Chain A
């Protein structure tokens, strides 16, 4: 194999044999493995649950304010909706929302961070000034203002959160890319005449991936809480769409007479965020030396 092939194939890059991950997984502390497993179960339940339960979350199915643990597991709300079914749909909605925001944040943040980290001079300066300006403002409040200005809908809330979320990744990726760009294999690729965009994608990106994955997985819990908070304030899909934050707000007026209406959706958000945070720690332990 010639040097050129080696360099172009990216084999001098920081790639890891596939068996490594399995070995690390086995070495993980038991609590970390339990957290990952619990998260997997929760994901399965929230994606398959809606098909199994079968009741329409937006149609009244029983008397209003039916107590929980009877005909309906978690009772019904003030309009007679089945709360359990609404929580399952709402949980799925939360996952999809979190995935969209994290994915768009990672794509934008990584693009900005890679370009800034690989180039020097004014491009780097401009990109990082914009990033810093966003980071210097309180993200959740800015997201609230953006979502309110765009109009109340779930999509707009996700767009608003995505707008304030990407700078975190841009910062992390830039410093990582900066560290990698002075490594010998990047210099070698440069000398071998590899075009800049290809160096960015084939050689720089793989090296920054672990950091991105760790940052994103530590973030998901906080992200779900942020979106739920905005939805609680009424920045989400209009009633009666099943959204955990909005469901909690909707139950607030009845908190003293029928506390389950607000309590169960709120506890569902807590459970999701808790498992995300625990699993995020596990992913960090898994990927960081």
Chain B
């Protein structure tokens, strides 16, 4: 088991190297002059040229790539954001906890929703066709439309949920973890906690919708296969209850493909974060990237793409290992 995990995780290295190469190439493709970005539009040409020399922008590409990797791994340097006049790492550092918290909640929601959808639509109760129609609809709805509809219904019409931001408290605790739910719980402020939760519901549902439908569909079809197999018939004839059969025999055997789908869908989920954070003005890395787009602040966009890319590669590596835990045949 350990050997399999080590091998699978080692396979991530070349992919991560490829990712940095792509981001680096895009960085050098982009028309933005990094020296000009640091010094501002009013700097003299001589000063810009000196800084270009200092930054190594005039070196050949392979040399620049090695420099880029060194900056990245030794100094955690992702370049300079011209829009905010600060290093990209500083901006990402502020925004990342907010995104992590939102995606964690969205991931939990995805798991719960997809299992519910799968169990409900695989069953033979009367609402199943309606649920299946809802699943097809959910898979086709753009995340921003869900967000807009949510704001119109739950904020504007019903007034149940706030529309933007992540808290209504000026004095919300900002430490020690940076996650508002955990921090407010630690500080013993239930009002801030419930307020934070209310802010999170709509964006998390919008992010979770498409992935839960995809995972739910996969789980449904593998669940149907598992429940009509010989070992389930044997379990039935042993006199086990339907619930025991479903959870002990059905779900365990059906979970593998659904896990793989969850890993693949996490990429779409992370892309959805950019759109959804924009709709709800959620101060995470998605909003950071989308605000950089109109002013062509490419280092900021590249930084976000790198973070999301690494997250995606790691998530899929972990998912593969988890799959092997659930189903020993994969290790062979």
The residues of A with any CB-CB pair to B shorter than 8 Å are: 133, 136-142, 144-146, 148-152, 221, 225-226, 228-229, 232-235, 245, 248-249, 252, 255-256, 259, 262-263, 266-267, 269-270, 273-274, 276-278
Number of B interface residues, CB 8 Å?
Answer: 51
The 6 closest A-B pairs by CB, nearest first: A138-B267, A140-B271, A266-B145, A145-B305, A274-B140, A149-B26
What residues on B are CB-neighbors of A252 within 8 Å? 148, 279
Assembled-state Cα–Cα distance A278/B139 (Å): 11
The residues of B with any CB-CB pair to A shorter than 8 Å are: 14-15, 18-19, 22-23, 26-27, 29-31, 136-137, 139-145, 148-149, 151-152, 156, 266-268, 270-272, 274-275, 278-279, 289-290, 292-294, 296, 298, 301-302, 304-305, 308-309, 312-313, 316
Contact of A266 among B22, B142, B290 (CB under 8 A): B142
What residues on B are CB-neighbors of A266 within 8 Å? 142, 144-145, 148
Task: Give 8 CB contacts A-B under 8 Å.
Answer: A137-B312, A138-B271, A139-B267, A144-B271, A144-B274, A248-B148, A259-B148, A266-B145
In the complex, the answer to whether A270 meets B18 with C-beta atoms within 8 Å is no
Q: Chain A binding site: helix, strand, loop or mixed by DSSP?
A: helix
In the complex, the answer to whether A142 meets B22 with C-beta atoms within 8 Å is yes
How far in angstroms is the closest Cβ of chain A from B27?
7
In the complex, the answer to whether A233 meets B14 with C-beta atoms within 8 Å is no
In the complex, the answer to whether A277 meets B305 with C-beta atoms within 8 Å is no
What residues on B are CB-neighbors of A248 within 8 Å? 142, 144-145, 148
Q: A139-B267, A229-B144, A269-B142 are in contact. List 4 more A-B contacts (CB 8 A).
A: A137-B22, A141-B312, A145-B22, A151-B296
Assembled-state Cα–Cα distance A276/B140 (Å): 9
In the complex, the answer to whether A277 meets B140 with C-beta atoms within 8 Å is yes
Known A144-B271, A270-B145; contact A137-B19, beta-carbon cutoff 8 A: yes
Assembled-state Cα–Cα distance A183/B148 (Å): 53
Q: Chain B binding site: helix, strand, loop or mixed by DSSP?
A: helix
How far in angstroms is the closest Cβ of chain A from B314?
11
What residues on A are CB-neighbors of B308 within 8 Å? 138, 141
Assembled-state Cα–Cα distance A225/B33 (Å): 33
How far in angstroms is the closest Cβ of chain A from B36?
16
How far in angstroms is the closest Cβ of chain A from B269?
9
What residues on B are CB-neighbors of A150 within 8 Å? 29
Q: Which residue of B lies closest to A133 (CB)?
A: B18
Contact of B30 among A139, A149, A234, A277 (CB under 8 A): A149
What residues on A are CB-neighbors of B275 within 8 Å? 229, 232-233
Known A148-B298, A150-B29, A262-B148; contact A274-B267, beta-carbon cutoff 8 A: no
Assembled-state Cα–Cα distance A221/B272 (Å): 16
Q: Which residue of A lies closest to B273 (CB)?
A: A141
In the complex, the answer to whether B298 meets A141 with C-beta atoms within 8 Å is no
Contact of B145 among A146, A233, A267 (CB under 8 A): A267
